[in-house]
Amino acid sequence: MRRGAGTDIAAWVQDIIHYRETSPGLFRQVETASMVVPLVISFGGPFSIGLGRDPDASESFCSFTSGLYAGPVFIRSAGTAECVQVNFTPLGAWRFFGVPMSELAGRMVTLDDLADREMTGLRHRLADLPDATRRLDLVEAFVADRIKRAKPCDGAIEAAYDILIFRKGDLRLGRLADHLDMSRKHLADRFRVTVGLPPKAVARIIRFGHAQALARQGEAWADVAAACGYADQAHLAREFVSLAGATPTGWKNAA
């Protein structure tokens, strides 16, 4: 069950999902690099998750979050998983978690590692509820209240992030730094705190997301490469292997 974010949190949350596996088996997923920061609160079996590769036996997670990662994420489960997942924007995650996003970027972080009493209490309350709708209601209200109480984002970095989104990642970082009247190093340092990765990596992921969107609409690969500012189709293909773990054709066939 998927629910779009309400108007009070739509700027910070993409959607909220209740996920439940109903039969034993080996379930495999590959998530491509994206601008989503997930929070997963689990009531069932764990997920095995590997960043950039198949997970090993030690990489088993129930309730967790993970910041931005410039690569594919390989997920395995055994048919017993059940969870609520909140998909934050990077700026929404910064407001919600209240920690430097560089501490979450490219890492799997369990709720126990966060040592957040509010979220621990939420996990227990959710487990006691009998159905998906009531769980989603509780999570949405919890997220809205917590974001409402959060301190605002770094205004300059929020503006820079919005520019990158508007330009679909196709922007020279020197121009962005000049627009904000700061050095590229200072911009990168502040971006890591609020977003998790430096602006060049963020722009790369945004541009890749735009390429995926055009491909889903049926655009030819050469046209996708040109529209997204890649040097050529070979450059686009390399980005797919790096950020999706598959060639463009392989990714599209698996979608």
Residue that is written with structure tokens 């989104």 in the block: 165
**190 confidence band (pLDDT: 50, 70, 90):** very high
Residue 25 CA to residue 58 CA, distance in Å, equals 20
Cα distance from N-terminal residue to C-terminal residue, the chain: 19
- What is the model's pLDDT at position 255? 77
Which pLDDT score, from 0 to 100, does residue 24 have?
Answer: 86
**Average pLDDT value over all residues in the chain:** 95
Q: Which helix (H) or strand (E) holds 213?
A: helix 199-216
Q: Mean pLDDT throughout 192-218? A: 97
- In sequence order, what E strands does the chain have? 2-4, 13-20, 27-31, 37-42, 47-51, 60-61, 64-65, 73-77, 82-88, 109-110
pTM for the model: 0.95
| Confidence (pLDDT) at 114 | 92
Q: Which residues of 164-191 are buried (b: 16+ CB within 10 A; e: fewer)?
A: bbebbbebebeebbeebebeeeebbebb
CA–CA gap between residue 161 and residue 166 (Å, rounded): 9
What are the tens digits of pLDDT across the range 18-42?
999 988 889 999 999 999 999 999 9
Q: Are 236 and 219 in contact (CB under 8 A)?
A: no
Show the CA angle centred on residue 43, arms to residues 90 and 34, nearest 5°: 25
- Please tell me the distance from the alpha carbon of residue 120 to that of residue 125, in angstroms, as a whole number: 9
Which residue is it, tokens 């997204």? 228
- Using DSSP, state whether 216 is helix, strand or coil: helix
> pLDDT by residue (tens digit) across 130-169?
899 999 999 999 999 999 999 888 999 999 999 999 999 9
| pLDDT score of 25 | 86
